[in-house]
Amino acid sequence: DAGVIQSPRHEVTEMGQEVTLRCKPISGHDYLFWYRQTMMRGLELLIYFNNNVPIDDSGMPEDRFSAKMPNASFSTLKIQPSEPRDSAVYFCASSFPYAEAFFGQGTRLTVV
């Protein structure tokens, strides 16, 4: 397997624009996680899915953030409208139940 695949690797957008980050988990993994990494807050869990169903979205910072998992091989994290404080590295990860999690290479988002 190619591992967790995220796209794009880098995204620069203007404040107010919609941003969509994409993730393809490792085939067969039941769990998918979205994390955000910043200098101030470290690595924080935003939301995670089990079998395509959102289980815990308590880490999603605001209503401007939304995540979907329409099928077992694809998930999106959307920010609308984007703000400069959303600038961060966003990671996607996947795992089997209560097992080792594997991370994608991340998307570096810059909102200007």
Q: Is 45 in the site for another protein (CB under 8 A)?
A: yes
Taking the C-alpha atoms of residue 91 and residue 108, their distance in angstroms, rounded to an integer, is 9
Residue of 12, 15, 99, 112 interacting with another protein (CB under 8 A) = 99
Taking the C-alpha atoms of residue 77 and residue 21, their distance in angstroms, rounded to an integer, is 5
Footprint of another protein on residues 59-98 (CB under 8 A)? Answer: 89, 91, 93, 95, 97-98
Minimum distance, C-beta of residue 65 to another protein, in the bound complex (Å): 17
Q: Is 105 in the site for another protein (CB under 8 A)?
A: yes
| Strands annotated E in the chain | 5-7, 10-13, 19-24, 31-38, 42-50, 53-56, 65-71, 74-79, 88-95, 102-103, 107-111
Minimum distance, C-beta of residue 81 to another protein, in the bound complex (Å): 26
Number of residues that bind another protein (CB under 8 A): 25
Cis ω before 54 (30° cut-off from 0): no
Residues that bind another protein (CB under 8 A): 31, 33, 35, 42-45, 48, 50, 55-56, 89, 91, 93, 95, 97-103, 105-106, 108
